[in-house]
A and B are shown apart, each in its own frame.
Chain A
Amino acid sequence: MTEPLVKVENLKKHFPIKGGLLGKTVGEVKAVDGVSFTIHKGETLGLVGESGCGKSTTGRMLLRLLEPSEGNVFFEGKNVLGLSLNEMRKMRREMQMVFQDPFASLNPRHTVEKILEEPLIVHGMKDSKERKKRVKELLEVVGLNSYHAKRYPHQFSGGQRQRIGIARALAVNPKLIIADEPVSALDVSIQSQVLNLLQDLQKEFGLTYLFIAHDLGVVRHISDRVGVMYLGRIVELADSEPLYDNPLHPYTQALLSAVPVPDVEIKKERIILKGDVPSPSNPPKGCAFHTRCPQAMDVCSAKRPDFREVEKGHYVACHLYE
């Protein structure tokens, strides 16, 4: 196995809940509650889970767009959380983000050229001619045309805007791209174009991806390994094949069985979970999934299961495997 590019240890983010007249802290949302994983050079790690389980918060903490409450993030062996603001700015060159809503993340008053030049200026490319050349290059790399440079974001379709978002992330030659639901807002036929583009770019530039999405089919397609999150924790992590073909955690099993598959020949056995995901401000004690788990035992409400390697490279947090 290649060396890890990113190593995340026991990462936590607890958001305070303010209340009362004085705006005192009356509780906290445990958005991310002790997450650990590594990402190897050149691979794609997928992160799946239902809305609010902490996927985006995790991604944002890696870039320090959010300050973690606890834990460590190492990038090429260096602790990102120990860096000064100035050092962090340099580090951002290596790690870039692509967002779900390409429209909201592009300044509507700037031309595409201006949008793509901005990160180049920030990272010290002073020569305007050189920048314009790079913009042209970037547009071509993501499958747009150089004449698109003079247009504004609203003049593009959703899929094209996502290409611009990707071009912007690529501008400074990063090593890691954190893509947070990059195809969720796109139509099926456009989604596959963008997924193919991401795969091509990975090959061409040796990129490493953290790919966050709730669509399990998309994640399987693009990921080498996949982590499944529930209520701020990773409950299972493995290579994508064993994870999808032989899920161990009861939540992963239910999640996979719930996805409708576009195939009329197959009638799936479905595990229908009862109730809703509990609030992260008051997660259940012990195993956070025990309130909905079809296989819960007495120990599950009392003790939080450890996240353990139960088969080679296959990690799971569940008392059934202890």
Chain B
Amino acid sequence: MTDDGEISVVNSIDFQINSGEVLGIVGESGCGKSVTSLSVMGLVPSPAGKVEGDILFNGENLVSASEKRMRQIRGNEIAMIFQEPMTSLNPVFTIGSQLIEALQIHRKWPKKKAQAQAIDMLKMVGLPRAEELMKDFPHQLSGGMRQRVMIAMAMICAPKLLIADEPTTALDVTIQAQILELMKKLNEETDTAIMMITHDLGVVAEMCQRVVVMYAGKVVEEADVKTIFTSPKHPYTVGLIQSVPDMRDKKERLYSIPGNVPKPGSVKAGCQFAPRCAHAFDRCISETPALESLGGSQKVRCWLYEDEKGVDIVDRTIS
């Protein structure tokens, strides 16, 4: 809680995305994944508030950037795709006019050139009969096709960073496989970095090079993807990985983390995970652990690793 009674839903987020990399952000519903990504875009919904700290994009601080500058950045250098494509497609305009408009606004391209690029983009995301599709309205397409159009729209200005918030959660697995394949291809071919927000650890293993695990508004662990799966450190990460039923091998009984996900702000002091943690000890209830580096790429926020810590990391708050 801050002084004026605001609840900080996202605390002390500190991570970076390197150019061309795919970073996964995982955590349970309500832990602050979407708020974090929206704040990068300068889009935090207004009652929830303001962003403290710095968001550096290519050395530029987005938190202090003007609204005009943010408008340039959004859609141009940083683009976003959502779980539900209709949130970013306008139902009353054709697919073509929406794609062309993006290029006209951000790139100041003449219509002809923009149109050719739009058609190329639709082909690139694997949509059949791209020319005809330009004249279609969003509702005429299936869910999987709309998701492709949204990706085309996000990628058309060749952004440096693509934020994908649960891009395949609403899709069936066979369609999800198509979309993930496409995102991988775009990442390889265009060197666009992707911030992949998901609750699906399978998607993370498949897509990401590095992973940030969030719990109750905080980053609790960060590491390269291999380390996260083979040597997770934070008790929450460990529990999360063990909770997932494995399709290839039937366990007698699943591991389960006891208790419920806390509402933001309900755990006032100490480690947010303490009420559910099997390893909690006195200190966990009274003192809040910081995100500490364990050397290499791994960082963890947990008192169990006090003795192993390397460099201190400065906390920041987005509230």
Q: Does A187 contact B173, Cβ atoms closer than 8 Å? A: no
Which residues on B sit within 8 Å (CB–CB) of A265? 230
Contact with A along B144-173 (1 / 0, CB 8 A): 110000000000000000000000000011
Q: Which of B199, B204, B245 has the most CB of A within 10 A?
A: B245
Q: Does B172 contact A261, Cβ atoms closer than 8 Å? A: no
A-B contact count (CB 8 A): 128
User: How far, in whole Å, are A218 and B243 apart by their CA atoms in the complex?
Assistant: 11
Which residues on A sit within 8 Å (CB–CB) of B142? 276
CB proximity of A144 to chain B, nearest CB, Å: 11
Q: Does A263 contact B253, Cβ atoms closer than 8 Å? A: no
Q: Does A189 contact B256, Cβ atoms closer than 8 Å? A: yes
Q: Does B256 contact A193, Cβ atoms closer than 8 Å? A: yes
Interface segment among B46-54, B88-96, B176-184: the answer is B176-184
User: How far, in whole Å, are A149 and B174 apart by their CA atoms in the complex?
Assistant: 42
Q: Does B253 contact A217, Cβ atoms closer than 8 Å? A: no
Interface size in chain A (residues, C-beta < 8 A): 44
B residues 235-254 with Cβ under 8 Å of A? 239-241, 243-248, 250-251, 253-254
A residues 147-171 with Cβ under 8 Å of B? 157-160
CB proximity of B216 to chain A, nearest CB, Å: 12
Q: A244-B247, A272-B178 are in contact. Are A263 and B173 (CB under 8 A)?
A: no
Q: Does B241 contact A262, Cβ atoms closer than 8 Å? A: yes
Which residues on A sit within 8 Å (CB–CB) of B61? none
User: How far, in whole Å, are A193 and B239 apart by their CA atoms in the complex?
Assistant: 12
User: Contact check: which of A160, A191, A196, A260 meets B202 at CB < 8 Å?
Assistant: A260
Q: Does A259 contact B247, Cβ atoms closer than 8 Å? A: yes
User: How far, in whole Å, are A191 and B254 apart by their CA atoms in the complex?
Assistant: 10
Q: Is A273 an interface residue (CB 8 A)?
A: yes
Q: Is B137 an interface residue (CB 8 A)?
A: no
Q: Is B257 an interface residue (CB 8 A)?
A: yes
User: How far, in whole Å, are A160 and B175 apart by their CA atoms in the complex?
Assistant: 32
Q: A189-B243, A190-B261, A220-B245 are in contact. Are A259 and B173 (CB under 8 A)?
A: yes
Q: Which residue of chain B has the shortest Cβ distance to A221 in the bound complex? A: B245
User: How far, in whole Å, are A188 and B239 apart by their CA atoms in the complex?
Assistant: 10
Q: Is A81 an interface residue (CB 8 A)?
A: no
Q: Is A97 an interface residue (CB 8 A)?
A: no
Q: Does B245 contact A195, Cβ atoms closer than 8 Å? A: yes
Contact with B along A240-257 (1 / 0, CB 8 A): 110010000000001111
Q: Does A196 contact B173, Cβ atoms closer than 8 Å? A: no
User: How far, in whole Å, are A187 and B244 apart by their CA atoms in the complex?
Assistant: 10
User: Contact check: which of A50, A159, A196, A260 meets B205 at CB < 8 Å?
Assistant: A260
Q: Does A262 contact B243, Cβ atoms closer than 8 Å? A: no
Q: Does A261 contact B226, Cβ atoms closer than 8 Å? A: no
Q: Is A128 an interface residue (CB 8 A)?
A: no
Q: A216-B173, A258-B174, A272-B177 are in contact. Are A264 and B229 (CB under 8 A)?
A: yes
Q: Does B205 contact A195, Cβ atoms closer than 8 Å? A: no
Q: Is A270 an interface residue (CB 8 A)?
A: yes
Contact with A along B278-298 (1 / 0, CB 8 A): 000000000000000000000
Q: Is A40 an interface residue (CB 8 A)?
A: no
Q: A263-B229, A264-B226 are in contact. Are A189 and B240 (CB under 8 A)?
A: yes
Contact with A along B191-223 (1 / 0, CB 8 A): 000000001111111110000000000000000
Q: Does B177 contact A221, Cβ atoms closer than 8 Å? A: no
A residues 246-298 with Cβ under 8 Å of B? 254-265, 270, 272-273, 276-277
Which residues on A sit within 8 Å (CB–CB) of B245? 192, 195, 215, 217-218, 220-222
Q: Is B28 an interface residue (CB 8 A)?
A: yes
Q: Is B255 an interface residue (CB 8 A)?
A: yes
User: How far, in whole Å, are A254 and B246 apart by their CA atoms in the complex?
Assistant: 18
CB proximity of A55 to chain B, nearest CB, Å: 12
User: How far, in whole Å, are A189 and B240 apart by their CA atoms in the complex?
Assistant: 6
Q: A187-B28, A259-B173, A260-B200 are in contact. Are A221 and B250 (CB under 8 A)?
A: yes
Which residues on A sit within 8 Å (CB–CB) of B176? 258, 260
Q: Is A214 an interface residue (CB 8 A)?
A: yes
Q: A195-B254, A272-B181 are in contact. Are A255 and B173 (CB under 8 A)?
A: yes
User: How far, in whole Å, are A10 and B241 apart by their CA atoms in the complex?
Assistant: 41
Q: Does A191 contact B205, Cβ atoms closer than 8 Å? A: no
User: How far, in whole Å, are A190 and B30 apart by their CA atoms in the complex?
Assistant: 13
Known A188-B201, A262-B246, A265-B230; 18 more pairs at CB < 8 Å: A160-B260, A187-B199, A189-B261, A192-B243, A193-B256, A193-B257, A193-B258, A195-B245, A195-B254, A196-B254, A220-B245, A256-B247, A260-B202, A261-B202, A261-B248, A264-B205, A264-B230, A277-B172
Q: Which A residues contact B (CB, under 8 angstroms)?
A: 50-51, 157-160, 187-193, 195-196, 199, 214-218, 220-222, 240-241, 244, 254-265, 270, 272-273, 276-277
Interchain Cβ contacts under 8 Å between A and B, 8 examples: A157-B261, A189-B240, A199-B253, A214-B172, A221-B246, A259-B173, A264-B229, A270-B177
Q: Which B residues contact A (CB, under 8 angstroms)?
A: 28-29, 142, 144-145, 172-178, 180-181, 199-207, 225-226, 229-230, 239-241, 243-248, 250-251, 253-258, 260-261
The 10 A-B residue pairs with the shortest CB-CB distance in the complex, in nearest-first order:
A260-B202, A221-B245, A262-B201, A50-B172, A258-B177, A192-B256, A192-B254, A187-B28, A192-B243, A217-B247
